[in-house]
């Protein structure tokens, strides 16, 4: 995948899209073949996976420790992401009290916090309202200019022109 | 392994624990209920019994009420810590896995969970120990509290192992209830144990050595050294087992 490209993977329910994502990020082992990754990966899982008893800010802090980013970069990136996706007002709110859409915004922002070189997104805009959906696409443009490669997995592609390439996953093959 | 990650993990795990107010209230209420029930339901008649880890000639004479206080204090500490450990690991299994994908080492997560669990064990042991002492005067309160810490460590690590291994919440709870109820909640009662058959089985159950250590400290001036060492050995075995299972479940292929 070329730096700055935007690729999509589509497929029917149960085609193995999420399985492929999990293999790419290292969660599962492939039956055969190898994945070579240059640089940092940002992974946004389909199911929102965050700590429900922690606040938005605490979730950011916990994952920033995982990424190993410094305090200064953490604060800049966190604020920029909350601004971009418009959920700064919920900074002190516990995750479990957020709406589904805001939870999804945080889920995505966590994947972007360390400014990855490869962004792997599994059904990223489920639950987004129209404004957030547009903000999301707006932000992918910024990421691509920076050289970040984006891989989006979805069961439904509505705006094909946004992608450089769209692959179809069927019977274990990408076509 | 990085110290700052462990520290962040510890702070976050403690925050998550302390924000579960109902759980914290129950941690306080359950031992109070257990010991109050003992106060109102047991007799004060004196019962002589022999402790398995002391010399055959040594008989302890105390009231049924007092021995029940000690036994139920141990059982409640074991129960509470085991449930807490199960919950600590099982609830966050999937998010912890995401943390590992993002850069945490499984051992960093486990160490922060263990440190939080150990702090909770200390608090529970001190609280239950002081509470028991309020109902009747223990011979050696600090050593009794140490016995409660030991049962907490043994059953805490058991809870961690079950939490890492079992996905379902109900199944996990049943695993905990099954062992803790049979072992700490029944077979280690010295009044039952004194006349039990096949004592060898009871001696190899996890609560045996911590119970012996706590009961010796509660009623006698004898040394509980052997029971303490064996408890630590049991605790370490469960700890290694839980670490192994957790590591296997959390590892990723990079």
- Given a cut of 80, whether residue A159 has pLDDT beyond it is no
- Given a cut of 90, whether residue B121 has pLDDT beyond it is yes
What are the two backbone dihedrals, phi and then psi, of residue A163, each rounded to the nearest 5 degrees? -95, 150
User: pLDDT value at position A55?
Assistant: 97
Which of A56, A62, A74, A106 to mutate to test binding with chain B, by most B CBs within 10 Å of its CB?
A: A62
A46 touches chain B (CB under 8 A): no
What are the two backbone dihedrals, phi and then psi, of residue B221, each rounded to the nearest 5 degrees? -100, 5
Under DSSP, is residue A139 helix (H, G, I), strand (E, B) or coil?
Answer: helix
A34 touches chain B (CB under 8 A): no
> CA-CA distances (angstroms) from residue B45 to B51, B64, B65, B160, B243?
19, 6, 8, 40, 46
* Cβ contacts of B29 within 8 Å, gap of 6 or more: none
The tens digit of pLDDT for each residue in B74-118 reads 999 999 999 999 988 888 888 999 999 999 998 899 899 999 999
Is the pLDDT higher at B9 or at B243? B9
Give the whole-angstrom CA distance, residue A55 versus residue A98.
Answer: 10
User: pLDDT value at position A58?
Assistant: 96
Percent residues over pLDDT 70 in chain B = 98
What is the Rg, in whole angstroms, of the alpha carbon atoms belonging to chain A? 16
CB A44 within 8 A of CB A121: yes
Q: Does the residue A1 lie in any domain? A: no
Beta bridge partners of B49: B60
B249 touches chain A (CB under 8 A): no
The tens digit of pLDDT for each residue in B225-252 reads 888 999 999 888 888 988 888 888 887 7
Q: Does the residue A55 lie in any domain? A: yes
CATH code: domain of residue A62: 3.40.50.300
B12 touches chain A (CB under 8 A): yes
Structural tokens at position A114: 């360390």
Q: Does the residue A139 lie in any domain? A: yes
Q: Among residues A59, A42, A38, A17, which one has the least CA distance to residue A114? A: A42
Give the whole-angstrom CA distance, residue A58 versus residue A91.
Answer: 9
Stretch B129-137: mean pLDDT, rounded?
A: 93
Chain A residue numbers with beta carbons less than 8 Å from the beta carbon of B99 are 62-63, 66
- Given a cut of 80, whether residue B57 has pLDDT beyond it is no
> CA-CA distances (angstroms) from residue B133 to B45, B62, B128, B145, B168?
19, 15, 8, 10, 38
Structural tokens at position A107: 């889920």
pLDDT band (50, 70, 90) for residue B253: low
B19 touches chain A (CB under 8 A): yes
DSSP string for residues in B18-41: HT-HHHHHHHHHHHHHHHHHHHHH
A51 touches chain B (CB under 8 A): yes
* Cβ contacts of B73 within 8 Å, gap of 6 or more: B31, B34, B35, B128, B129, B131, B132, B148, B214
Count structural domains, chain A.
1
A29 touches chain B (CB under 8 A): yes
**Among partner residues B2, B15, B253, which is closest to A26 by beta-carbon distance?**
B253
Give the whole-angstrom CA distance, residue B221 versus residue B228.
Answer: 15
Q: Does the residue A13 lie in any domain? A: yes
Q: Does the residue A24 lie in any domain? A: yes
Most confident of A12-16, A54-58, B1-5: A54-58
User: pLDDT value at position B174?
Assistant: 93
User: pLDDT value at position A16?
Assistant: 87
User: pLDDT value at position A12?
Assistant: 85
What are the two backbone dihedrals, phi and then psi, of residue A68, each rounded to the nearest 5 degrees? 70, 35
CB A170 within 8 A of CB A13: no
User: pLDDT value at position B151?
Assistant: 92
Is the pLDDT higher at B242 or at A106? A106
Q: Does the residue A14 lie in any domain? A: yes
Under DSSP, is residue A71 helix (H, G, I), strand (E, B) or coil?
Answer: helix
Beta bridge partners of A168: A10
Say yes or no for a CB contact (<8 Å) between B102 and A43.
yes
The tens digit of pLDDT for each residue in B139-172 reads 899 999 999 999 999 989 889 888 888 888 899 9
Which of B11, B101, B107, B252 to mutate to test binding with chain A, by most A CBs within 10 Å of its CB?
A: B101
User: pLDDT value at position A50?
Assistant: 96
Stretch B166-184: mean pLDDT, rounded?
A: 88
Q: Does the residue A103 lie in any domain? A: yes
Alpha-carbon distance B155 to nearest alpha carbon in chain A (angstroms): 25
Give the whole-angstrom CA distance, residue B239 versus residue B241.
Answer: 5
Show the domain range for A67. Answer: 6-174
- Given a cut of 90, whether residue B41 has pLDDT beyond it is yes
Which of B21, B88, B95, B104 to mutate to test binding with chain A, by most A CBs within 10 Å of its CB?
A: B95
Chain B residue numbers with beta carbons less than 8 Å from the beta carbon of A62 are 8-9, 12, 99
The tens digit of pLDDT for each residue in A135-150 reads 888 888 999 999 999 9
Q: What letter does residue A104 receive in the DSSP assignment?
A: H
Say yes or no for a CB contact (<8 Å) between A62 and B99.
yes
**Among partner residues A28, A45, A53, which is closest to B16 by beta-carbon distance?**
A53
Q: Among residues B253, B205, B249, which one has the least CA distance to residue B94? A: B249
User: pLDDT value at position B56?
Assistant: 67
Give the whole-angstrom CA distance, residue A3 versus residue A117.
Answer: 8
Say yes or no for a CB contact (<8 Å) between A26 and B92.
no
The tens digit of pLDDT for each residue in A43-85 reads 999 889 999 999 999 999 999 999 999 889 999 999 999 999 9
Q: Among residues B225, B67, B253, B88, which one has the least CA distance to residue B155? A: B88
Q: Among residues B161, B171, B151, B170, which one has the least CA distance to residue B76? A: B151
Chain A residue numbers with beta carbons less than 8 Å from the beta carbon of B103 are 66-68
User: pLDDT value at position B254?
Assistant: 61
For residue B209, the tally of other CB atoms under 10 A from its CB is 28
For residue B37, the tally of other CB atoms under 10 A from its CB is 12
Give the whole-angstrom CA distance, residue B29 versus residue B12.
Answer: 25
Q: Among residues B102, B111, B11, B96, which one has the least CA distance to residue A69? A: B102
Chain B residue numbers with beta carbons less than 8 Å from the beta carbon of A110 are 102
Average pLDDT over chain B, rounded to whole?
A: 88
Chain A residue numbers with beta carbons less than 8 Å from the beta carbon of B250 are none
């Amino acid at each position: 995948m070329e730096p700055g490209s935007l690729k999509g993977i589509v497929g029917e329910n149960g085609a193995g899209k999420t399985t492929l994502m999990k293999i790419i990020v290292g969660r599962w082992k492939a039956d055969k073949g190898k994945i070579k990754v240059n640089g940092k990966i940002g992974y946004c899982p389909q199911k929102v996976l965050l700590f429900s008893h922690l606040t938005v800010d605490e979730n950011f802090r916990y994952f920033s420790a995982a990424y190993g980013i410094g305090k200064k970069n953490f604060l800049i990136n966190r604020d920029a992401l909350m601004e971009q996706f418009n959920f700064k007002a919920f900074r002190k709110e516990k995750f479990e009290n957020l709406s589904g859409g805001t939870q999804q915004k945080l889920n995505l922002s966590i994947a972007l916090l360390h400014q990855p070189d490869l962004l792997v997104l599994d059904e990223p805009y489920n639950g987004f309202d129209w404004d957030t959906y547009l903000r999301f696409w707006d932000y992918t443009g910024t990421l691509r200019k920076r050289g970040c490669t984006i891989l989006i997995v979805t069961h439904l592609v509505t705006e094909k022109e946004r992608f450089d390439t769209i692959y179809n996953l069927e019977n274990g093959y990408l076509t | 392994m990085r110290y700052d990650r462990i520290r962040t993990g510890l702070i976050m795990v403690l925050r998550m624990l302390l924000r579960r107010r109902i759980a914290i209230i129950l941690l306080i209420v359950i031992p109070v209920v257990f010991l109050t029930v003992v106060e109102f339901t047991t007799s004060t008649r004196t019962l002589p019994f022999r402790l398995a880890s002391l010399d055959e000639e040594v008989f302890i004479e105390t009231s049924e009420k007092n021995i029940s206080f000690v036994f139920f204090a141990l059982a409640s500490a074991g129960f509470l810590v085991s449930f807490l450990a199960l919950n600590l690991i099982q609830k966050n299994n999937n998010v912890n896995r995401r943390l590992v994908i993002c850069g945490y080492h499984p051992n960093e997560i486990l160490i922060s969970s263990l440190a939080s669990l150990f702090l909770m064990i200390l608090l529970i042991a001190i609280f239950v120990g002081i509470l028991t002492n309020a109902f009747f005067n223990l011979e050696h309160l600090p050593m009794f509290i140490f016995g409660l810490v030991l049962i907490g460590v043994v059953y805490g690590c058991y809870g961690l192992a079950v939490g890492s291994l079992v996905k379902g919440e109900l199944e996990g709870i049943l695993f905990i209830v099954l062992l803790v109820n049979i072992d700490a909640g029944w077979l280690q009662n010295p009044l039952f144990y004194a006349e039990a058959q096949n004592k060898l089985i009871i001696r190899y159950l996890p609560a045996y050595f911590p119970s012996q250590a706590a009961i010796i400290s509660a009623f006698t001036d004898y040394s509980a050294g052997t029971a303490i060492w064996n408890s630590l050995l049991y605790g370490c075995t469960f700890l290694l087992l839980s670490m192994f299972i957790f590591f296997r479940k959390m590892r990723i292929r990079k």
